[in-house]
Amino acid sequence: MAGDVKKIMFTVRKPPHGSIYVYEGLEVKLIMAAYDADISVVFLDDGVYAMKAGQDTSKLGIKGFEKTYGVLVDYEISKVFVDRQSMEERGLTEEDLLVIGEDEETEEPVRPKMIDSAEIAAMMAEQHNILCF
Amino acid sequence: MLHTVNKSPFQNSTLESCLRFVRPGDALLLLEDGVIAAAAGTAKSGLIEGALKKNLSVYAIDADLKARGLTTLTKGVQVTDYAGFVDLVEKFTMHAWL
């Protein structure tokens, strides 16, 4: 039934913590991961801040989501990308990104992959659905 | 792809972001405050002028244009209604740039 697997992309454009969008988006991703869908996640604009390592929300009195994003790969969500221009505009590099799991074979930490807008646009064109958070 | 933008280009950079990810043949629908981008002769008109040059079909919802008194639009912008919106949704995969 491989042909029936839906390709679903999540785009995250909002910064974390100022609104509930990023958190809700994460919840939806984890729910969708329970279904047989081909999921990809793209962080762009201020959304790239959701992938920044070292988020400490304790003083805000909220749970935060770095730990949950840290196990995305365990939920079989490993197609996780950040937009290069959004990163560069904010002075961020791949080394600033949080770990989303570990490689099944090498056990190396997995981080979101930085790609260009043209690659993202090409991936968008292949999707059945795109959900924006 | 159908891209929808509902924010004014004077309010934030949503439209500019969207335009980085469009491909030739895609459609862009402006709605709600997004229709402000369709107005001719503004400091932000160049965004839509550039999009049209990149072989993008640009639509704006008439109810939102009328509500804002926007009658002078950048040449090439197609005015549509909610039925037209539905037709676009039927034809393309949609990404709402919220």
Residue pLDDT, tens place only, B9-61: 999 999 999 999 999 999 999 999 999 999 999 999 999 999 999 999 999 99
Q: Domain tally for chain A? A: 1
A79-131 pLDDT tens trace: 999 999 999 999 999 999 999 999 989 999 999 999 999 999 999 999 999 99
Amino acid in the structure at residue B12: N
Instruction: Give me chain A's average pLDDT, please.
Output: 94
- Confirm or reject contact between B92 and chain A (CB < 8 A): no
**Measured distance CA(B62)–CA(B79) in Å, rounded:** 6
Cβ neighbours of B89 (radius 10 Å): 13
Domain containing A121 equals 2-132
Q: How high is the pLDDT of residue A55?
A: 94
Model-level pTM?
0.91
Options 3.30.590.10, 2.60.40.1220, 3.30.1300.10, 3.40.1260.10; which CATH number does B2-97 get?
3.40.1260.10
Asked if pLDDT for residue A73 goes beyond 90, the answer is: yes
**Interface contact flag, B94 A120, Cβ < 8 Å:** no
Q: How high is the pLDDT of residue A4?
A: 79
**Measured distance CA(B2)–CA(B57) in Å, rounded:** 9
Q: How high is the pLDDT of residue B62?
A: 98
The domain limits of chain B are 2-97
Q: What is the CATH number of the domain that holds A13?
A: 3.40.1260.10
Q: Which of B17, B22, B55, B56 to mutate to test the interface with A (most CBs of A within 10 A)?
A: B17
Helix (H) or strand (E) holding A43: strand A37-43
3-state class (DSSP) for residue A110: strand
Band (A36; pLDDT cuts 50, 70, 90):
confident
